[in-house]
A and B are shown apart, each in its own frame.
Chain A
Amino acid sequence: MISVSHLSKRFVLHNQGGAEIPVLTEAALTVAPGECVALTGASGSGKSTLLRLLQGNYVPGGGSLVVAGLDLATASAREVSALRRGTLGYVSQFLRVVPRVPAVEVVAEPLAALGVPEEEARARAEALLARLNLPERLWPLSPTTFSGGEQQRVNIARGFVHPYPVLLLDEPTASLDPVNRAVVLDLIREAKARGAAVVGIFHDGPARAEVADREVDVSVFAPRAAS
């Protein structure tokens, strides 16, 4: 489902004399359906960068980056949008939503974009929020006012509300209590069981050990310190 080869990424800061910050070089990664791969490496080694490249959020510098048959290095913006809509789920660490939208709608929104009838989308969103133990009184409220753990669960629900064939998870269990952490790990296992290819960053070592089939150390893709 995911096939990365010879991938490089550097940032060029045009307003700071064209300073270049190389982050990845010759990165390679393959993830099969039903498999969960954990990205590891020290902080700053490029885990998040690789995840964002997989999500289409960053522009690949070189090499190829094929997700579900689409090479993100050459795909058009619309193709990436369509990939994200139906195929590529993403659970971010940060919640970015229009301030006034109720949590339940934030979660149901990806389904609405896929044309799922409003009531069904809502029901599925509610079921997931219930499973993640988000108090029902919070559902009609905007998550912008929620605590970190509550926001995180809204993010997770949004990423799992549709059975995406590819899932990218950025610290999905951070700031969760043990009960909800267990729910998230169950969700990941279920996703794998239905054949989803999962790539995640887990600082939570035990969680990583529970769901990840393999670990890929991103620091081996770090450019030589010579530069």
Chain B
Amino acid sequence: MSGVTESDPPLLSVRGLTKSYGGRIGCAGIDLELWPGEVLGIVGESGSGKSTLLACLAGHLEADAGTALYAGRDVLTLPEPARRRLGRTEWAFVHQHARDGLRMNVSAGGNVGERLMAGGARHYGDIRRTAEDWLARVEIDPARIDDRPSQFSGGMQQRLQIARGLVTGPKLVLMDEPTGGLDVSVQARLLDLLRGLVRRMGLSAIVVTHDLGVVRLLADRLMVMKDGRAVETGLTDRVLDDPQHGYTQLLVSSVLPT
């Protein structure tokens, strides 16, 4: 009746992912699964290992141990060319700071078009039309296609970064504090946009954030991390409304009422 069986294959299956910095634990023994169309939130305070986990998955950091199966392959041990190809086709990464994910000296259109051109698109007019379409989808006036990101506001830069990543129709998006550093009203707009895109494109996403409000609105499931370990996982509203672990209770009770 529920329409879901546990035998459906997950899109991503992580087992025992561990990363240390010298003697200090980054993250340890992380298991997680992500199914198609699902958004997983990872919360925890600074230093909890959530960004380390994301960086290992994205290939920005090399994990010490563990596996991360995607489409039958362990992405942690994938040869670099295949890894990078994955990173610009079926995966996308959204950085907290848009300038880390954008080319600031390249126009908005060029930024959005880069993944297309990297994938072999060689028709300028088509690339441009696709870029215009994507600018509109992330609510940037397509007339600004030739402006550089430096002329955009912080919220626009973040939306441009998202367009740049999603233009190739990825299956999995990794987001590191996507609303961090943005004004509250701008955050709401971005969240709305992300929700819509996730829904319409059937995206799966992992969103790392310390903002419980963000995950409540965006994530289907939640993982709470502390000192490099996952202390609690489950349905987002269940973890937030009926936290079982002392740390999660502390985290939830620390949120200022809105």
Residues of chain A touching chain B, judged by Cβ–Cβ distance below 8 Å, are 11-15, 52, 56-59, 68-70, 75-83, 85-87, 96-101, 112-113
Contact = CB atoms under 8 A, between A and B. Distances in A.
Interface residue SS majority, chain A: mixed
Contacts of B216: 96
A15 B249 contact: yes
A86 B1 CA distance: 9
Nearest to A85: B3
Contacts of A58: 238, 241-242
Contacts, number: 82
Contacts of A75: 2
B35 interface: yes
6 contacts: A77-B220, A81-B4, A86-B2, A96-B217, A100-B188, A113-B199
Given A86-B3, A101-B192, A59 B238 contact: yes
A59 B245 CA distance: 12
A98 B192 contact: yes
A15 B250 CA distance: 7
A59 B242 contact: yes
A57 B249 contact: no
A98 B195 contact: yes
Interface string B228-255: 0000011101100110111001100100
Among all A-B residue pairs, the 9 with the closest Cβ atoms? A14-B246, A82-B4, A99-B188, A82-B2, A58-B242, A77-B235, A98-B192, A100-B192, A69-B1
A24 to B, nearest CB: 13
B177 interface: no
Contact of A78 (B38, B241, B250): B38
A78 B35 contact: yes
B249 A100 contact: no
A15 B246 contact: yes
Contacts of B242: 11, 52, 57-59
B221 interface: yes
Q: Which of B191, B192, B245 has the most CB of A within 10 A?
A: B192
Given A78-B35, A100-B192, 18 more contacts: A14-B245, A15-B246, A52-B242, A56-B235, A57-B237, A58-B238, A59-B238, A59-B244, A70-B1, A77-B234, A77-B238, A80-B238, A82-B3, A82-B4, A83-B1, A87-B1, A98-B191, A98-B192
B238 A78 contact: no
B137 interface: no
B2 A69 contact: yes
Nearest to B218: A98
A81 B235 contact: yes
Contacts of B3: 82, 85-86
A57 B195 contact: no
Contacts of A13: 249
Contacts of B221: 77-78, 81
A104 B250 CA distance: 36
B6 interface: yes
Given A57-B241, A81-B235, A87 B188 contact: no
Contacts of A12: 244
Contacts of A68: 1-2
A81 B188 contact: no
A100 B193 CA distance: 10
B2 A79 contact: yes
Nearest to A58: B242
Interface string B185-223: 100110110010001000000000000000011001100
Contacts of B241: 52, 57-58
Contacts of B192: 98-101
Contacts of A82: 2-4
Contacts of B6: 76, 78-79
Given A14-B245, A15-B253, A98-B195, A79 B238 contact: no
Contacts of B4: 78-79, 81-82
Contacts of B235: 56-57, 77, 80-81
Nearest to B8: A78
A87 B238 contact: no
